[in-house]
Structure 1
Amino acid sequence: MYAALATTVLVLHFCFLAYVVLGGFLVWRWPKAFWPHLAAAAWGLAVVSIPLTCPLTVVEHWARRRAGQAVADKGFIDTYIENVLYPERYTHLLQVMVGVLVGFSYAVALVKLRHRRAERKMS
């Protein structure tokens, strides 16, 4: 049961990371998605900027210990992303690229929102 919990938390962690990276594009369609995504993006920025441990990592490690599995002493990104999907030397570059991507998604969302408001005023 604990092994299944650890796997579930791992999948949730990947989903959250994908949401942090790509969730700003949801704002293009659903402007109310801005605030939840901003909170997620701020948390993602905080975790990589200052030494914070993500609660999902804490739960995953706890479940792995309870399941008798080995627990890495590193965080989620250090364990499952760095040196798996990209070499560690590109970490800072990818963090900047994610920031630019989120900023771009918000900028386009703002343009779309202003365009919608202008169309409503004209009708």
Structure 2
Amino acid sequence: MDAAVVADLVMLVHLGFLLYVALGGFLAWRRRWLIVPHVAAASWGLVSATVGIACPLTAWEDAARRRAGEQGLPRGFVDTYLTGVVYPADRLVEAQLLVATIVLVSWAGFALRERRRRRQPVAP
């Protein structure tokens, strides 16, 4: 497969992963089993954003772009594709806090739904 196509596919997977980090807790409201991988994904997002550990998807995309003869990623995925595009460059912390709030709201909603579900009597 062409390296540029691989790079684009990795970029799309990475974007999907970031969307899952932000919104996956809401998916768990309907598919309860999704809470476990969502907690793992959100934990990775938190560690990556606070400690600065590079995501392997960024490295894979960068390597594929370089193999395709492109420049590669000048910065990380978020800095390249989101910062200054989806939100202003000087609002990174606010964007991170917004995503964290969305995740926490989804988890609180999940917990409330589980609590209600467990309180409902089982039909005979």
- Count of aligned pairs: 123
TM-score normalised over the length of structure 1: 0.95
Q: Equivalent residue for 2:73?
A: 72
Cα pair 2:48 2:55 within 8 Å, conserved: yes
Q: Equivalent residue for 2:91?
A: 90
Q: Spell out, residue by residue over 1:15-73, the C-alpha distance to the aligned partner (whole angstroms, 9 max, x if none).
A: 00100000010111112111100000001111110121100001001101111101133
Cα pair 2:20 2:38 within 8 Å, conserved: yes
Paired letter, 2:19: A
Q: Spell out, residue by residue over 1:78-102, the C-alpha distance to the aligned partner (whole angstroms, 9 max, x if none).
A: 0000011111111101111111111
Structure 1 residues 99-110: aligned runs within 5 Å = 99-110=100-111
Cα pair 2:22 2:103 within 8 Å, conserved: yes
Q: Equivalent residue for 1:15?
A: 16
What is the RMSD computed on CA atoms of the aligned residues?
Answer: 1.3
Q: Equivalent residue for 1:58?
A: 59
Q: Equivalent residue for 1:114?
A: 115
Name structure 1 gaps, 5 residues minimum. none
TM-score normalised over the length of structure 2: 0.94
Percent identical: 41
Name structure 2 gaps, 5 residues minimum. none
Paired letter, 1:58: A
Moved over 2 A (4+): 120-123
- Return the structure number with greater helix share: 1
